[in-house]
A and B are shown apart, each in its own frame.
Chain A
Amino acid sequence: MEPVIRVTNLAQKIGHKLLFQGISFEVQPGECFGIFGTRGAGKTSLVHILAGIDRFKSGQVAILGFNIKKTEKFKRSLGLVTQESSLFRDMTVVENLDFIAALKKASRAAVREMIESFQLQEFLTKPVTSLDIGVLQRVSLACALLNQPKLLILDEIIKDIDLFSRNLILQELEQFLAAGGTCVSTFSNFVFSQSFSKVAWLEGGEMTIYDPEGAQAEWNRQVKYYAEQSGRYDD
């Protein structure tokens, strides 16, 4: 089966800093692929490359079989939630849903469905700038799902949000995966590592792929190692 994402020897440079030194990985259909890294490791940059927002220095990136340097057709089947809200700040919730639906050529029925799924009825006429972060992320995910994407790219979607919104989002994501969707999500809190099929660890411009258990073991090893190094390990 053709992978949903195939990245080969991806290199990216921002200013004088070499962010990725030829990373390669694949994401198979139905997988939930986690990208872990500390701040500045390049998670957001990688996500922006996969979403076709930023160009890259060299290498090849194929999404749903399309070479993203040559075509934008893959965007029809793509949904993105950015780390910081990328909704239209001058609009209300319903205006954002309607406008993004029009941009993605999604139907009004899809808008109604998302309003219901994410329980947004009471927020529709509110400006997005007035929303709590949890509701904001619900609206963002609703917008990302409007075009019924095959690939969902999420950048720290459930970080620091209220539990109600978090459960609602996780429930919708489970449904999305159950329906055959593929998901790529960044995370910086290792608590979430078990939610993924694979975990890609970004560090020093390189990527190592683990299964969730392997990633957890590596995390534990590093935590112990650095604690010992600093003399703060009490056991």
Chain B
Amino acid sequence: MMIRQCWVIMQRELFYMWRDKSLRNILLVGPLLGLLLMAGVYSSQRIGNISTAIVDLDKSSASRQVTTDLKNSQNLQVVAYFDTFSQLEESIKRGEVIVGVVIPENYGKDIALQRQTKVAVLIDGMNIIYATNASSAVLTVTRTLGAQVGIRTLIAKGIQPNQAQEAYQSVAFPEEAWFNPTANYAYFLVLAFALNVWQQCCTLASCMTIIGENGRRSWYQIRTSGISLFKLFFCKSFVHIGILLLTVLPVYFLAFVVFKLPLACGWSSFLLFTLIFILALHGLGTMMSSLSPNAVNASRYGMIIALPSFLLSGFTWPLQAMPQWLQHVVWILPQTWFFQGVSFLTFKNPGWGFVSHYFLALSLMAVLFYSVAALRLMVSDFPHKG
């Protein structure tokens, strides 16, 4: 009879979630749509073809060499040549070009006479990501150009060409980016953004665990039936957790199998980590649900937690760059452990010794949140809140 009771409660919860069209769509479509949109947004994987304009006030062979080097650079695309600085300024203001290079008058002469000269490089800093990429692309060109001019200057001063070259290459700084060597934005952001959509949906759904039941008049049927509330909410939660896990599986399939995003730790560890996060998140939602006077407030509480949690997780803006006090506070959110863990597990797989405390922290959070919810239910008067 007890097994039948549990089975019937779980079945009812499943049907309830399925029949609630908005909940069904949020859970099924939300995360997948999020992933597909993000995959579309980051499909180019990196920022190239950064529109660049050149103002050549010198028009010498040396200045034309600069223009050629800029045209040949990997990520810059020269789209305009202006005669004056003000034309360039206007174009940057209108967003037509991101990078502007101004070659001064007498540039060629100054180089030939080994006099110091200055090529102005202007970057539109409005979009930080664009600006950073533009800066990096320009730096590649200017560094090479500077070295070439320097070598030529040394040669002009009578130093042997090979000695001049060695002087500039005596200390090499070869860059080697690990884990995401091509600085692929898709690797970095697509999964995380999709999981952010998913965790928001999960938080909102979890916030209905208790209030979705005791906020309705049908709660009277449950209260007078004498069924143990532990059994009731255990069965409901079991279904919720299963559903939340099922909704993320298509996202993982698309991310790791179709889009071939990195998964360094392997499927089993990552799924286990996800399951434990779901427990913590569902626990958090259940706790909020138990503390809310009605379903509307439960949703509001859920939104307050779910929306900023991704930003606070340190995924996009490093925790180390946050104020000291905030760096500690953000760890009370399961999302912080999750998104930090996702980074480590998908890119690096630093080993059980390192990630075990992520598993442990999320497990402890789950226990804490469910305990608070249970205590709240025990001390509550079970009033009808409708």
Contact = CB atoms under 8 A, between A and B. Distances in A.
Contacts of A105: 1, 5
Interface stretch (A74-82, A116-124, A181-189, A199-207): A74-82
A48 to B, nearest CB: 8
A87 interface: yes
Contacts of A95: 12
Nearest to A102: B8
A53 B218 CA distance: 12
A89 B216 contact: yes
B20 A78 contact: no
Contact of B382 (A54, A75, A89, A102): A54
A73 B219 CA distance: 18
B24 interface: no
Interface in B211-250: 216-227
A72 B226 contact: yes
Nearest to B383: A54
Interface in A41-87: 48, 51-55, 72-73, 75-76, 78-80, 82, 84-87
A102 B5 CA distance: 5
Contacts of A25: none
Nearest to B224: A80
A90 interface: yes
Interface string B147-189: 0000000000000000000000000000000000000000000
Contacts of B352: none
A58 B219 CA distance: 24
A88 interface: yes
A53 B382 contact: yes
Given A55-B382, A75-B226, A99-B12, A86 B4 contact: no
A1 to B, nearest CB: 24
A88 B226 contact: no
Chain B interface, DSSP helix/strand/loop, else mixed: helix
A80 B227 CA distance: 15
A72 B216 CA distance: 21
A104 B218 contact: no
A232 B8 CA distance: 59
Most chain B Cβ neighbours within 10 Å, of A75, A84, A91, A102: A102
B221 A86 contact: yes
Contacts of B217: 82, 84-86
B9 interface: yes
A87 B222 CA distance: 10
Given A55-B382, A90-B19, A98 B223 contact: no
Contacts of A76: 226
A143 interface: yes
A7 to B, nearest CB: 17
Contacts of B219: 86
B381 A87 contact: no
A103 interface: yes
Contacts of A72: 226
Interface in B370-386: 381-384
Interface in A101-141: 102-105
Contact of A103 (B5, B20, B216, B383): B5
Given A99-B12, A103-B5, A75 B220 contact: no
B16 interface: yes
Nearest to A79: B224
A82 B386 CA distance: 14
Nearest to B223: A53
B93 to A, nearest CB: 57
Interface of B: 1, 4-5, 8-9, 12, 15-16, 19-20, 216-227, 381-384
28 contacts: A52-B223, A53-B223, A54-B383, A55-B381, A75-B225, A75-B226, A78-B224, A79-B224, A80-B221, A82-B220, A84-B217, A86-B219, A86-B220, A86-B221, A87-B218, A87-B221, A90-B16, A90-B19, A95-B12, A98-B8, A99-B8, A100-B221, A100-B225, A102-B4, A103-B9, A103-B227, A105-B5, A143-B221
Which 9 residue pairs across A and B have the least CB separation, nearest first?
A: A75-B226, A102-B8, A103-B225, A86-B220, A86-B217, A80-B224, A88-B218, A53-B223, A55-B381
Given A52-B223, A84-B217, A103-B225, 13 more contacts: A53-B224, A80-B220, A80-B221, A80-B224, A85-B217, A87-B221, A88-B218, A89-B216, A90-B15, A90-B16, A100-B225, A104-B225, A104-B226
